[in-house]
A and B are shown apart, each in its own frame.
Chain A
Amino acid sequence: AQKVTQAQTEISVVEKEDVTLDCVYETRDTTYYLFWYKQPPSGELVFLIRRNSFDEQNEISGRYSWNFQKSTSSFNFTITASQVVDSAVYFCALSPLISSGSARQLTFGSGTQLTVLP
């Protein structure tokens, strides 16, 4: 069984602060993908990043960075110099990397509501 835990239900920061969103996962698969999605108030899920289980290199994209640590089963997401437009619900998700028969559905965490105050 797969499980994704986002322990932080809500986070509130002031603009320009850095913020880290935690994600811890459980899986029996030896190969898997990890994802982050953003869900702004409009409701549409926006894909942010996908990492595979054999690539633990951290990634930076503008103000966003991701820290993948297989040893602790964590895939944390940091926003540097946060902006009001970053306010959204952020979901961490997990899927098998290769699945010959069954669905490759995403297992989602419950999400973290980030509010960035001006």
Chain B
Amino acid sequence: GAGVSQSPSNKVTEKGKDVELRCDPISGHTALYWYRQRLGQGLEFLIYFQGNSAPDKSGLPSDRFSAERTGESVSTLTIQRTQQEDSAVYLCASSLEKWGAATDTQYFGPGTRLTVL
């Protein structure tokens, strides 16, 4: 089957605008993660969804960041009033893990490169 897909692949926006990033996980994967990767750095965890449970938002850097996911399908990450420091690659990952069970391997999408001018 297809891997994790993300859209758009690139997004250039002006400071202060809102942006929405989309992630399509691998079919059947219950867990979905968003990460941010600033230039030349490792990945920072943002948010985690597992099935219909309440998401873990502990990694979101500010209240300008939010994400939604309906069931085990598509997720959208929204950044409101974008700032230049939001410029980064936003990566989505999904895995097969079940709630309460052992963690599983995360498979990553190609990312969305966000540039805030």
Contacts and interface: CB of A to CB of B under 8 A. Distances in A.
Interface stretch (A39-47, A56-64, A71-79, A80-88): A39-47
B110 A43 contact: yes
B106 A102 contact: no
A103 interface: yes
Contacts of B58: 102-103
A97 interface: yes
Given A33-B103, A45-B91, A95-B103, A105 B45 contact: yes
Nearest to B45: A105
Nearest to B42: A108
B61 interface: no
B110 to A, nearest CB: 5
A41 B109 CA distance: 14
Given A105-B48, A108-B43, A110-B42, A100 B111 contact: no
Interface residues of A, number: 29
A104 B56 CA distance: 10
A47 B107 contact: yes
Given A103-B58, A106-B45, A111-B42, A43 B111 contact: yes
A98 B103 contact: yes
Contacts of B59: 103, 105
B56 A102 contact: yes
Interface string B37-69: 000011111001000000010110000000000
Interface in B83-117: 89, 91, 93, 97, 100-103, 105-111, 113
A91 B42 contact: yes
B103 A42 contact: no
Nearest to B50: A103
Interface of B: 31, 33, 35, 41-45, 48, 56, 58-59, 89, 91, 93, 97, 100-103, 105-111, 113
Interface of A: 4, 33, 35, 37, 42-47, 50, 91, 93, 95-100, 102-111
